Amino acid sequence: MSGIAGIIHFDGRPVEPGEIERMTASMAHRGPDGIRHWVKGNVALGHCQMCTTPESLEETQPWANEDESLVLVMDGRVDNWEELRAELLGRGARLRNRSDAELVLRAYEEWGEDSTTKIVGEFTFQIWDSRRKILFGARDVAGTKNYYYHHAGAWFGFSSEIKGLRALGWIEESLNESRLLGFLVPAYDRADEVGTLFEGILRLPAGHAMAASKHGVRTWRYWDPSGLPELKAASLDDCAEGFAEQLRIAVRCRLRSTLPLASMLSGGLDSSSVVALIQKEFRDQLHGPLRTITLTDADRGNCLEHQHAREVIGQGCCEPHVIDSSQAAEHYEGFWDWAKSQDEPFTTNLNHTYFVAYRYAARLGLRSVLDGMAGDCCFQMSPHPIQSLLTQSKWVPAVGELIAMNRVWGDSILSLASRYLVRPLVPERLRALVRQRRRLNAGSFAEPPIASNERIQRWDAAGMFSNQSTLPGGDTRTVQAIHSRNFTTGCLSFAQERNSLIAASFGVETRSPFADRRVIEYAISMPVEGKLLRPSYKEVLRRAMAGVLPRKTLGRTSYAHPGPPFTAVISRHFEGTLSRLVKSAPACAANWVDAGLLNGPVIRGGRERQLEEQFRLWAAAAFCEWLGRAGFRAPGTPLAWNQIKRMEQYQ
């Protein structure tokens, strides 16, 4: 993990002294191994360096070719390092060292804008090409690295964090309501892949490349897996064998490290598979034991996640670190001071358990933490693949899948049949009318909104919901095309970039084997039988990990996420603080937030209802705190329709 920043004045105006330095200084936590700059006339690039691989010790960014006609700044790793290096050498490239930055620079020299298809890894990079007078860059396919930019007339700026752009003081800051909708109405929290809460500060979506010049900013999707053909596997066992091989490659290439590594270990199939593979096949590549970080309920003996984590730890090669919810208050010390330093309130909403985990990793002196992120996306589809079975008239397997959905999700057979058998037969015009009427009732959303009913009605009247909800779109003719939407509509990248920001604030980088492009492409290519809930959820992964995972973990069928116990404990601990934050919110908060939260939140009802209300209270408190600090005090801002148009151009 590192930090990158840059300024280009396309009108030729020179970059003033101290400007790029302000940007990198705001991200000093990303540069424990040095902050450096390259300034030449109207272009300035900055890099905050954190060395996490042996090869990174051989580079000093900004990194240039021999005549400085190309200058690169990069945050991330090249995970097909060996293959790309061999291909470049085979084409006669002169590699000056073993660094990832050198590989990316030479790849651009060799293939130009097509170089993105050659690079597999977790990265974002920018290259100033003085010969063409353009800034070219790209972001990895899963969005594990952060990238923000602003373009206004003759100047362009970019940064790994929003605070880097804000440090310049040049951007007129106003609230972007198209992104705010996603925060206040959770059902739409990943619909906007482009915007931030700051109008004019944008994100480059995952799997996209861009070129900025005096003619403007051009963006395009360089990775589109929707056309991948269906894998012709003779059986699920053959399919599992291929998946296991891709996951091995993804885990192995993420073990390059200068320091000991850690891995999240929830006890679920995904994180357990990562840890178990390292235990069984790669322990000789580690600098000492693998540190594992597990969050559990206070009642460890009856905590299902803790039991399965212990099964994996028992296979050896691990130094376990367990934090239970009884210790939550201790581990949340200083949380709100930390929250005030975040660019957006998203890092404090529902994912505050990652605050505990990544800060704990930093206190252990670690710089890199593996996780099981993206594992669910590899095996879940929306809509569910049962639609494909019905399209192919496979009625017996479809009924079997309904029974499996009842077993895994707990929904009644009747409601599932209504959703998947009856609803598709209803004319789309009638379904659209029902959806519109449901939106007018805040209680009808999958997760209760934080927004007021009045604001929801205004957004609905203005067409915001319809604009947001049509974004996913795309080809739905094949199972592979439908599955690819998990990775091309913000479902994964939103969570990845949020976790990455939390980790980066503590000087820690995330590494996600299931988010490897090769793993994702294999998962998408699997036939529909590999994505069903029958005979077991993630059956392909279970078979792939046979002989690697403990038998008990392989056979588990129920799950209990550790987040809710932490939320319950810490919400009680912070109840006074949360109430104070929402009650002391700036006056303009009433334009968006439910009055019931602002006027004295009360948490009541059964356990599930209490957790639901606690989530809402956390989110409202985070938003109100951020709103006052950000200075958006005007009573409402115009809808950012230009932002919506930008979203449409990325599809």
Residue 428, domain extent: 381-478
Q: Is 294 a domain residue?
A: no
The domain tally of the chain equals 3
Q: Hey, how many other C-beta atoms are within 10 angstroms of the C-beta on 596?
A: 13
Q: Is 403 a domain residue?
A: yes
Looking at per-residue confidence, does 36 or 391 come out higher?
36
Instruction: Write down the pLDDT at residue 74.
Output: 98
pLDDT tens-digit map of 474-500: 445 688 988 998 898 887 888 898 999
Q: Which of the four pLDDT bands, split at 50, 70 and 90, describes residue 562? A: low
- 3-state helix, strand and coil shares in percent for the chain, rounded to the nearest 5: 50, 15, 35
Domain stop point among 223, 250, 272: 223
462 and 592 part of one domain: no
Instruction: Write down the pLDDT at residue 630.
Output: 75
Q: Is 103 a domain residue?
A: yes
pLDDT tens-digit map of 129-188: 999 999 999 999 999 999 999 998 889 999 999 999 999 999 888 888 888 888 888 777
Q: Is 345 a domain residue?
A: no
Domain stop point among 444, 478, 512: 478
Q: How far is CA 187 from the centre of its chain?
A: 17
Q: Is 636 a domain residue?
A: no
Looking at per-residue confidence, does 598 or 609 come out higher?
598
Across the chain, mean pLDDT equals 86
Domain stop point among 478, 503, 522: 478
Q: pTM of the full predicted structure?
A: 0.91
Of residues 522, 54, 433, 447, the one with CA closest to residue 249: 522
Q: Measured between alpha carbons, how far is 153 from 572 in angstroms, rounded to an integer?
A: 49
Does position 31 have pLDDT exceeding 90, yes or no?
Answer: yes
470 and 580 part of one domain: no
150 and 32 part of one domain: yes
472 and 592 part of one domain: no
CATH of the domain at 65: 3.60.20.10
Q: Is 205 a domain residue?
A: yes
Label residue 426 exposed, middle or buried (CB < 10 Å: 0-12, 13-18, 19+): exposed
62 and 169 part of one domain: yes
Q: Is 603 a domain residue?
A: yes
Q: Is 624 a domain residue?
A: yes
28 and 165 part of one domain: yes
Name the H helices within 516-639: 517-525, 539-544, 551-554, 563-573, 575-583, 595-598, 607-630
